[in-house]
Structure 1
Amino acid sequence: MLDKFYKQFKSGTDIRGVASEGVEGQPVNLTDDVVARMADGFVLWLSKKVSKAPETLTISIGRDSRISGPHIVSICSERFKRCGATVLDCSLASTPSMFMTTVDLGCDGALQITASHHPFNRNGLKFFTREGGLEGSDIEEILEYAQNGESPAENSCGEIKKVDYMTDYAKGLCKKIKEEVNAEDYDHPLKGFKIVVDAGNGAGGFYADKVLSVLGADTTGSRYLEPDGMFPNHIPNPEDATAMASICEAVKEANADLGVIFDTDVDRGGAVDNKGNEINRNRLVAVAAAIALEGNEGGTVVTDSITSSGLKEFIEDTLGGQHYRYRRGYKNVIDKALELNAQGINCPLAIETSGHAAMKENYFLDDGAYLCTKIIIKAAQMRKEGKELDELTAELKEPVESKEVRFKILEPDFKACGEKIIGDLTAYAMAQNGWNVANDNREGIRVSFDKDNGDGWFLLRLSVHDPIMPLNIESDSVGGVDIIYNKLNEFLKTTSGLEL
């Protein structure tokens, strides 16, 4: 069992903590000793996982642009070397590229130093094997080794090698675009396109220089390509309104054909069409589904729970696929897609509205650069036919109004409190006239209403990790969100444990 100190580092299937001073009330807990213990724990876990002695392991390590990254890489690399492992230091790299080192470079394991879109003072450790990202139980085992101070035996045969894998990774994306666009000018399939990139000073700046420009695209007007771990311009996060406003503005200013945006470590992406409209959240899912279902007719698309009713209609009625609405958490969505495929159900795409998208054709790896690459390929293919990308989702029905409220749970056992509220609400909803409880919902409770009662739906659920109950509401009519909220609020006022 993890004690309180080490338990704080577990964030789903990652390890995260405070690595830099600078934020009041957030002292550093990812100290040098703690990081070294975690690195040793990973070696012990990996050695058991792949049935190889520590001194025979090859481990790659990379980082995003945050300021504590180089120091943490140095600590982990030295700990890996200390037990005799061969360490491939990839320096600044995207998280998906680190998984790909297990494919292309034959690494037994990979470690990315990242805290995704979190503030500059935070950092973390994200691990991979050839099978993909680790499960929560694996993270607990690594942290237990760290907590107990267990470490592999020292061995002097270890070494650290500098590797420029990001160049090779970018070449792989270039190759894919060339092959699938198959332009007359084969080596410059994006000639005539103007595509701007907003990397948010994270690790995604390579995409403009090593992919788009190489293939002939004009990337003038791209923003914040230089890595800067203080993130001085905006949070690198496609879900952040300021970040999306930045890429929309860049597209309009440059009169670009397309804009793409990444989070800090490039495992998520978003896009903007030539009219400055966001290809994000439900629309991003719709575009990815349209692309993934080509050649996979009738296939199943797994999404998280907060997708709109219009998206379900688009996937099933317009695209002819099946929509499997699951749970929040990108690993949950990916694991469900893997499970469905193992059952013989063709599932080519797992995608969360946050921008995490994983395709069967790409090892079910959530890779923002790969997703944007597929979107760019589709845009180039459509241009050959005299069409624009926005035509792909012309039949997608978007909600007129939407709202998210995050209620704080005040009870110490927040999970039990939240589950009781959901159970009570389910019973309440079943007894109300005009409340239609969804039969395909797999997280929290989702209820829809007809045109006379709000013309939309709500979803109330427990947060994946935090003492929070997020409430999402969408309506197809002006004023509908307030109508639905007021109906729900009559129940919420009877509950205890929520900060309303």
Structure 2
Amino acid sequence: MLDKYWKHFKSGTDIRGVASSGAPDEQAIDLTDENIEKMTAGFVLWLAAKTGTAPEKMTISVGHDSRISADRIQAAVLHALINAGCRVLCCGLASTPSMFMTTVELACTGAVQITASHHPFFRNGLKFFTRDGGLEGSDIEQILEHAQNGDTPPALQGTTEEVNYMAQYSARLRKMIQDGVKAEDYDHPLAGFHIVVDAGNGAGGFYAKDVLEPLGADISGSQFLEPDGMFPNHIPNPENEEAMKSVCAAVRKNHADLGVIFDTDVDRGGAVDHSGNEINRNRLVAIASAIALENAPGGTVVTDSVTSDGLKTYIEETLGGKQRRFKRGYKNVIDEALRLNKEGVDCPLAIETSGHAAMRENYFLDDGAYLVTKIIMKTAVLRGQGKDLEDLLAPLPEPAEAAEIRLPIMVEDFRTEGEAVLASLSTCAGHQPHWHIDPEGCEGVRIAFDEQAGDGWALLRLSVHDPILPLNIESNIAGGTTLIASQLYVNLRTHKNIDTSPLETFISND
């Protein structure tokens, strides 16, 4: 069993911790070289048991995003792998999806990506892959148990090689566009397209310079392409309001045809149409669903639980597919899609509103660059028909108002407390004449509200990792989200271990 210290490194299916100074409250660095070497040794032992391959027969790739602690952590990872006798491919600055692809195209036994996604500069972590994809939470626990116990492989001498795999990965994306667009000028299918890329100073700058520009695209106005682990301009996160405002403004300023934005390690992406309107969250899911269902008519799209009622109407009535709402968490929706396909259900796409999108045709890998590439290809095809992305999204019913309010849970055993709150709200909802619990709810409590009660819906659920109860509300009428929030507050205020002040602020600011 993991003790409290080692358990705190587990973040879902990743390992994360404090890797450099500058953290709030002067949090101590816990991703020390010693701990990283122990974790890496644990991965080698886990991988040996998983694959039946001796460490000295393994090839393991290592990459990192732009964080300031990347070089130090990479050195510790390499030291552990070399001492285990592994052949190590050093990929340098790389996207997380590309590191998975090394298991496919370079036949690596496993891969290690050094990243903490969109988290602050002082954090970092380790993400692991095999040819089967990313690891499960239980796999991370096994790796950390090895680290906790000080387990190490026999000491041997491995080797290292510098590999520019991102060049091969970029060439693959270019060929996708060339083959998909089928332009008269095969080598330059994006000639005449103006596309602004916002990499947020993460690892995604390659997309503008190595994918789009060689295909003839005008990338002027692209911003924050250079890696800078302090992220001085905005958080590299397609869900971040400031980040999306920045790329939307860049598209409008440069009169671009399209804008794209990535998170730090490029496993998530978002887009902006030529009018400067963001294609994010439900709109992004709608576009991805339209693309995926073209080759899977009537297929099922797995989404997370916070998608809108309008999206369900769009997928099922406009596109003729089916929607399967599932638990929040990108690995959850991917695993559900894998399960459905195994059972014979035609499921080409798993996607979260956060921007994690995994397509069956791409190994169900959540890859922001792959998703954006598919969107660009679709944009080019639509242009040939005299249409654009706005035409594709026109049938999508969108709410008049939407809000997300995060309610902190103020006790250590936050899961037990959160589950009690959810049970209480569910009981309350059953006694309200204009509230209706969603029978297809997959997590938390999702409630539909009649017209007189707010004409919309709300979902209260437990955060995947944190002591938080996120509350999502949508309404089809002006003032509806406040009306719904006010009704929910009557129940939620009775729970003394829940900080309802964010909800009070939301209601009072209307």
| Same topology, TM > 0.5 | yes
2-structure distance, mates of 1:172, 1:357: 18
Structure-2 residue corresponding to 1:395: 395
2-structure distance, mates of 1:236, 1:471: 24
2-structure distance, mates of 1:274, 1:318: 23
Structure-1 residue corresponding to 2:490: 490
2-structure distance, mates of 1:84, 1:495: 55
User: Offset at 1:490?
Assistant: 1.4
The one-letter amino acid paired with 1:493 is R
Residues 260, 271 of structure 2: 8 Å contact kept: yes
Listed as ranges, the matches of 1:42-57 within 5 Å are 42-57=43-58
User: Offset at 1:112?
Assistant: 0.1
RMSD over aligned Cα, in angstroms? 0.7
User: Offset at 1:109?
Assistant: 0.1
Structure-2 residue corresponding to 1:74: 75
2-structure distance, mates of 1:495, 1:145: 40
Structure-1 residue corresponding to 2:268: 268
1-structure distance, mates of 2:413, 2:117: 28
2-structure distance, mates of 1:351, 1:449: 26
1-structure distance, mates of 2:79, 2:162: 13
2-structure distance, mates of 1:457, 1:366: 28
User: Offset at 1:496?
Assistant: 3.4
Listed as ranges, the matches of 1:250-399 within 5 Å are 250-399=250-399
User: What is the DSSP-based 3-state SS (H/G/I as helix, E as strand, rest coil) of the residue aligned with 1:499?
Assistant: coil
User: Offset at 1:335?
Assistant: 0.4
Structure-1 residue corresponding to 2:137: 136
User: Offset at 1:493?
Assistant: 2.4
The one-letter amino acid paired with 1:389 is L
Structure 1 segments unaligned to the other structure (5+ residues): none
Listed as ranges, the matches of 1:11-26 within 5 Å are 11-25=11-25, 26=27
2-structure distance, mates of 1:165, 1:154: 28
Structure-2 residue corresponding to 1:454: 454
Please report the TM-score for the alignment, with normalisation by the length of structure 1: 0.99
User: What is the DSSP-based 3-state SS (H/G/I as helix, E as strand, rest coil) of the residue aligned with 2:125?
Assistant: strand
Listed as ranges, the matches of 1:380-459 within 5 Å are 380-459=380-459
- Render the CA deviation track for 1:226-268: whole Å, top value 9, x for unaligned: 0010111111000001110111011011100000000000000
Structure-2 residue corresponding to 1:225: 225
Structure-1 residue corresponding to 2:503: none
The one-letter amino acid paired with 1:70 is D
Structure-2 residue corresponding to 1:99: 100
The one-letter amino acid paired with 1:286 is A
The one-letter amino acid paired with 2:78 is S
User: Offset at 1:147?
Assistant: 0.6
- 1:191 aligned onto 2:191: yes
Which piece of structure 1 moves more, 446-455 or 191-200? 446-455
2-structure distance, mates of 1:381, 1:470: 39
1-structure distance, mates of 2:254, 2:411: 51
User: Offset at 1:494?
Assistant: 2.5
User: Offset at 1:300?
Assistant: 0.4
User: Offset at 1:298?
Assistant: 0.6
User: What is the DSSP-based 3-state SS (H/G/I as helix, E as strand, rest coil) of the residue aligned with 2:256?
Assistant: coil
- Render the CA deviation track for 1:258-300: whole Å, top value 9, x for unaligned: 0000000000000000000000000000000000000211100
Structure-2 residue corresponding to 1:58: 59
The one-letter amino acid paired with 1:299 is G
1-structure distance, mates of 2:182, 2:195: 19
How many residue pairs were aligned?
A: 499
Structure-2 residue corresponding to 1:249: 249
Identity across matched positions, percent: 62
User: Offset at 1:318?
Assistant: 0.5
2-structure distance, mates of 1:452, 1:140: 48
1-structure distance, mates of 2:295, 2:166: 30
User: Offset at 1:495?
Assistant: 2.6
The one-letter amino acid paired with 2:227 is P
User: What is the DSSP-based 3-state SS (H/G/I as helix, E as strand, rest coil) of the residue aligned with 2:112?
Assistant: strand
- 1:173 aligned onto 2:140: no
The one-letter amino acid paired with 1:209 is K
User: What is the DSSP-based 3-state SS (H/G/I as helix, E as strand, rest coil) of the residue aligned with 1:59?
Assistant: strand
1-structure distance, mates of 2:39, 2:493: 45
- Render the CA deviation track for 1:349-379: whole Å, top value 9, x for unaligned: 0000000000000000000000000000000
The one-letter amino acid paired with 1:140 is E
Please report the TM-score for the alignment, with normalisation by the length of structure 2: 0.97
Structure-2 residue corresponding to 1:85: 86
User: Offset at 1:23?
Assistant: 2.3
Which piece of structure 1 moves more, 372-381 or 451-460? 451-460
- Please identify runs of 4+ aligned residues in structure 1 that moved more than 4 A: none
User: Offset at 1:430?
Assistant: 1.1
User: Offset at 1:24?
Assistant: 3.7
Residues 291, 374 of structure 2: 8 Å contact kept: yes
